[in-house]
Amino acid sequence: MHEIEIHVVPFDSPVAQRLITSALADLGARYGGDGDETPVDAREFTPPHGTFLVAHLDGQPVGCGGWRSHGTDGETAELKRMYTAPQARGRGVARTVLAAVERSAREQGRKRLILECGDRQPEAIAMYTSAGYERIPNFGYYADEPGCLSFGRTL
- Give pLDDT tens digits for 46-68: 999 999 999 999 999 999 999 99
pTM: 0.95
Is residue 57 included in any domain, yes or no? yes
Is residue 115 included in any domain, yes or no? no
**CATH (domain of 76):** 3.40.630.30
Low-confidence ranges of the chain (pLDDT < 50): none
Is residue 70 included in any domain, yes or no? yes
pLDDT at site 34: 84
What does pLDDT average to over the chain? 96
Phi, psi dihedral angles at 69 (to 5 degrees): -60, 145
Is residue 59 included in any domain, yes or no? yes
Is residue 143 included in any domain, yes or no? no
- Residue in 101, 20, 121 with CA at minimum distance from that of residue 93: 101
Amino acid at 56: H
pLDDT at site 1: 53
How many domains, in total, are found in the chain?
Answer: 1
Is residue 151 included in any domain, yes or no? no
Domain membership of residue 85 as a residue range: 4-110
Cα–Cα dist 75/73, whole Å: 5
